[in-house]
Structure 1
């Protein structure tokens, strides 16, 4: 390691990260498309399962914030032993959390389906999908922690290569097991979940093997006398980020409960729209990771002004690109909706939702990058505060008001705009004050 490692280009991390996240999101969209051939009940069940899955992702992302902040700073400060030990610590936490989530999902799949007000076939399919999906959760935890650690050290290529293979296997496996291709049993929604899970199982085996054999940027073994990761420090950074994600996802679940009151068509349209939006959101996520890693590396090297420059570069790129993608979403909203589903009413509602999301995307880019920069500096508390204030103080009250006043469905979808705008105003104020640069010191 040398001083040249104190910062890497935004694109070197953001580019591969965006690509692999895009592939992962497209795989999720493809699975929705696959199960659409099984009927609306299958789409509703899969949407519910994927929404619950976001809770697990929220937990892993919270720990990922600590992983990125600590490893990037150690890497920027030329402390390899600390970086590697932090990676091992994050893997232990990730696996432990995922095992707990798996156990809870096995037990609580029924109540979860009931929460979404699902009945009959939709409810039974959702229960099955949730249980099979979370059976493979620990493997996803291992993959996510290792890929996060690699990106924090400036290596986004290994996660990209493994991610490409994983997502291809995911889609092919979901299709083959859902419809019984090549002599395999036709398992419907269950098969789609199993195909997705097997892909993560294979990825986990490949990742760990490469790490153990020394083919990753962060080695498996380092000098035993080197600095060790501090568990308390890891928890102190990860807890606010984890709580933030849980509150955000919990608020989203309640929000979906409001959407479900508009009927199955609105619920299915939400699933279509949110999956399509995720395709664009990965752009912001990629730049968020790049901002986090570069801020951490720069601060680890004792260069706060460089940290600001890197975060601003990521912000400009993210907002510009997401605005252009949003424009495309708005223009082709109906075509996208018709491609995803055959139900005319679902297409109509999805088109409205996508056009609203078109305005949301550049605002979401600001949220991603500024939050990412702060987390990279170890300031995970303020994004938590901003998230609580807007999710609980803006999104849910406005959604409840839409139900109470019996407003059209497009009104409840528009709540996202007000929610994100308020959050971005809070984050921008914090960013300009620059106090977040010294929180970790």
Structure 2
């Protein structure tokens, strides 16, 4: 996204359109084989997370029906990033909201059945996700076409060799970072899955709630990235740094208030997540307390990494940082707590969050050093 932002800050639409095309092609080349592997070997992937045969069968079924989602999501992310970078943040929000409503309606219909369709269960949930994501792609394309948007109207560069080289220098570390993070997230699921089906159920239910909390701050990080990226593209470095300080202070205050509010309403949240049963509540309640107390730190990391460092193209550092925090600290510590020391669920969950402490210490030091303050457009000017 950093390239889009900085070229838009320079009012260079042709380069921005070229980057959009390069992103679509680059992502598709990566995701097609990944989708194939995930779909064909879905049962084996589920076996990594649990030994419960019923869970493995349901998970494999879900992956089969949801196989196009990765590629469709890639198209949505690239298009929305280009739109947001050019100042249109409302349209992706509206179309995304419409898609969520459709997804909920389709889930209700396909899972339970009705109107001539039998109940599909887990397969229905996956199919609902696939259909709604496809509709989102069509909505975006229809909007861009109807508005004669610059993404449709603008021509790409005739010779994009230098731009492609610069793009790869950012895209490859970012892609490796995403793969590293996805594999690490899977490994956390493996750890909790092998602790027991109940532990995996609690961990899996906490995940969507945590993602919902992230969404509250994701918009702030996008706004931060847009403003900083455009300023950096115009060589307004001091203005960019001052804006970044404002965003960090705002997220810290908002994060602490959000965490306090969630902590006071944690029992209601557990009820919404269906984690109040006698088997699940003793594990979920302390984990929810830990999550609420740590949410401010996670949100600070989100704004510093996605909103600030990546806006200046500091992607290689983000790759190294994630490897150290997740693979050298978080995962070994969590696995040791679970399998070597045999600690209870809440302590293992706490060990997982040590990763965030390491991330913050590395990222905040990097932020203060200002290595992220780069005008990426100079390399292709």
Common fold: TM-score over 0.5: yes
Structure 1 residues 223 and 252, CA gap change in structure 2 (3 angstroms): closer
Structure 1 residues 243 and 439, CA gap change in structure 2 (3 angstroms): farther
One of 419, 423, 428 as aligned partner of 2:355: 419
Which residue of structure 1 aligns with residue 207 of structure 2?
274
Which residue of structure 2 aligns with residue 396 of structure 1?
331
Q: CA RMSD in A?
A: 1.9
Contact 1:272 1:337 in 2 (8 A): no
Which residue of structure 1 aligns with residue 96 of structure 2?
163
1:130 matched to 2:66? The reply is no
Contact 2:95 2:140 in 1 (8 A): yes
> What aligned pairs does 1:295-374 form with structure 2 within 5 A after superposition?
295-341=228-274, 343-372=277-306, 373-374=308-309
Which residue of structure 1 aligns with residue 189 of structure 2?
256
Using the size of structure 2 for normalisation, the TM-score is 0.92
Structure 1 residues 379 and 120, CA gap change in structure 2 (3 angstroms): same
1:265 deviates by 1.0
Structure 1 residues 394 and 225, CA gap change in structure 2 (3 angstroms): closer
Which residue of structure 2 aligns with residue 231 of structure 1?
164
Contact 2:333 2:352 in 1 (8 A): no
Q: State the distance in 2 between where 1:330 and 1:348 align.
A: 16
Q: State the distance in 2 between where 1:162 and 1:69 align.
A: 23
Q: State the distance in 2 between where 1:435 and 1:184 align.
A: 57
Q: State the distance in 2 between where 1:409 and 1:268 align.
A: 12
Gap runs ≥5 in structure 2:
none
1:223 deviates by 4.8
1:70 matched to 2:6? The reply is no
One of 322, 326, 336 as aligned partner of 1:387: 322
Structure 1 residues 368 and 75, CA gap change in structure 2 (3 angstroms): same
Using the size of structure 1 for normalisation, the TM-score is 0.80
- Deviations 1:362-393, CA, capped at 9 Å, x for gaps: 11122111112111111111111111111122
Q: State the distance in 2 between where 1:283 and 1:96 align.
A: 32
Contact 1:360 1:416 in 2 (8 A): no
- Deviations 1:255-307, CA, capped at 9 Å, x for gaps: 22111222111111001112111111123322222222222100111201121
1:410 matched to 2:346? The reply is yes
1:224 deviates by 5.9
1:286 matched to 2:222? The reply is no
Which residue of structure 2 aligns with residue 16 of structure 1?
none
Secondary structure, in 3 states, of the residue corresponding to 1:296?
helix
1:94 matched to 2:27? The reply is yes
Structure 1 residues 375 and 150, CA gap change in structure 2 (3 angstroms): same
Structure 1 range deviating more: 159-168 or 79-88? 79-88
Q: State the distance in 1 between where 2:3 and 2:225 align.
A: 10
Q: State the distance in 1 between where 2:133 and 2:157 align.
A: 34
Q: State the distance in 1 between where 2:288 and 2:35 align.
A: 33
Which residue of structure 2 aligns with residue 154 of structure 1?
87
Contact 1:334 1:347 in 2 (8 A): no
Q: State the distance in 2 between where 1:284 and 1:134 align.
A: 29
Aligned length: 373
Contact 1:101 1:134 in 2 (8 A): no
Q: State the distance in 1 between where 2:156 and 2:218 align.
A: 35
Q: State the distance in 2 between where 1:109 and 1:394 align.
A: 28
Gap runs ≥5 in structure 1:
1-67
1:436 matched to 2:369? The reply is no
Structure 1 residues 74 and 226, CA gap change in structure 2 (3 angstroms): farther
